[in-house]
Structure 1
């Protein structure tokens, strides 16, 4: 399947920026299950300074915000060919050893609620794949999908306590629980084409677990599926913070607002539907 993406991120500042930097993880890579056919990034109010692959092999671009601007716009357009691999993305590669994906992070540190969740899964832990499927189903039951309740700083424990959240929260709870069982876990940020509706999710997120014999396997708890040809992987990390599409700072900017327009389609770009997503001052939270 060929998926076409148009993704515009717009930052509006209350005051002219004195100095600003942004780190972008917005360009997907050709990897297991997907091939990037073309990808273009355009900037208004910012200037790219460097491009490199970070510790997770994510395409990363550093940009400076032009002094005096009141708005920065980053537009990505591209086409990616995808295939259905039943969520399996293959063996581990990159600079990070697998043991790094066992370490808790501030967003995924397990507490009493995550421990109780793991204990409540009624499945043989020796069957790792089956156990993780059972775990993902239980998380979907205990954390009902509801936008606007959480934000990009919400931890796995807080999401379980609230009993509500979005894709990022589902992924963090799943990652936190898996690491308790010494399963390497990571966060994945990207795009999802939802062909059954006009409005699609911006900045979708899911999780991957490293399973012996299979390698990394994806789990989208929010949609209760393993990622298929409708998914485009853009960035990975130990949690959302390491895979966030845009992070940075702007000195002298005052209050900052963020809007995101996204279209994902199997049609040509001109025929795509656009939408506005939820956002935060530093980066968009998907779901």
Structure 2
């Protein structure tokens, strides 16, 4: 499938700041399931800095915006050809050992309810257990935008019984780690939801490490494994660690962020 992305993130400051420094994970991952046809990231007033590929295989690009800065637009536009690999991250090069992703973080910290949910799932092997854990999270947390926020933890989302893709991913990571399965957060794009309706925002899911297969993606929000509707950008321990854009502004100001994303299927 050939997918086009038009993604703009705008930052506005109520008072001009002296400068802004950003770190981007906005380049599609290099693996057998996707091939970049064209891809461009632009930043209004921005100057490109150093770039490197980190231990998880993600390309990290630095940007500097000299002040005074009142508004910034980060625009991502491009086309990617995708292949359905049934969620398996085949051909992806990284140096971080999977066991590093057994580490607990604040958003994925387990409580009694998460431990109970993790223990409720079963499978004849680790792959079946991973599918069962993803299904358990789907059943326990209904998809509902607006009830959680950027800092909601997996435990809080489970207590609410509602959340968005970030909450589903954090909860799946938490229950997988409880069962001794390395798990990580993945950021990217989705062209449509499971029922074929448009998916408005950038998306997130989880990857669990299964011996013999490697990293396998699970999307509890859509009860699916990532297929050719997905574009993978990068990964991390949780949403903050895997954020496509991270940055800091020099100066005292209130920042307001607005994001628009369109992902469409185009003819080959």
Query: Same fold per TM (> 0.5)?
Result: yes
**Could you say if the C-alpha distance between residues 165 and 155 of structure 1 is closer, same or farther in structure 2, counting changes exceeding 3 Å?**
same
Provide the residue aligned with 1:274 in structure 2: none
Structure 1: gaps (5+ residues): 269-287
* 1:127 aligned partner: 125
Alpha-carbon separation, structure 2, partners of 1:66 and 1:148: 34
The 8 Å contact of residues 184 and 238 in structure 2, kept in 1 or not, is answered as: yes
* Residue 133 (structure 1) shift: 1.5
SS of aligned partner of 2:209: strand
**TM-score normalized by the length of structure 1:** 0.88
Does the CA-based 8 Å contact 1:13-1:253 persist in structure 2? no
Separation (CA, whole Å) in 2 of partners of 1:18 and 1:12: 13
Give 1:46 deviation, angstroms: 2.4
- Flag the 1:55–1:253 CA change in 2: closer, same or farther, 3 A: farther
**Equivalent residue number for residue 166 of structure 1:** 164
- Kindly state the Cα deviation for residue 92 of structure 1 after the two structures are TM-superposed: 6.8
CA 16–247 in structure 1, closer or farther in 2 if over 3 Å, else same: same
Q: Deviations over 1:232-270 (max 9, x none)?
A: 0001112112210111111225111111121111127xx
Q: Where does residue 151 of structure 1 map in the other structure?
A: 149
How many residues end up aligned between the 2 structures?
265
Q: Deviations over 1:58-114 (max 9, x none)?
A: 111111122112001111111111111111113774121111011111111212111
CA deviations on 1:104-153 (whole Å, 9 max, x unpaired) are 111112121110111222x23x4211122122112112111111122221
Structure 2: any 5+ residue segments left out of the alignment?
A: none
**Cα distance between partner residues in 1 of 2:172 and 2:200:** 20
SS of equivalent residue, structure 2 residue 137: helix
Task: Name the SS of the counterpart of 1:10 in structure 2.
Answer: strand
Give the superposed CA RMSD. Answer: 1.6
CA distance in 1, matches of 2:127, 2:99: 19
Counting only pairs closer than 5 Å after superposition, residues 40-119 of structure 1 correspond to structure 2 as 40-90=40-90, 93-119=93-119
Secondary structure in 1 matching 2:208 = strand
Runs ≥4 in structure 1, deviation > 6 angstroms? none
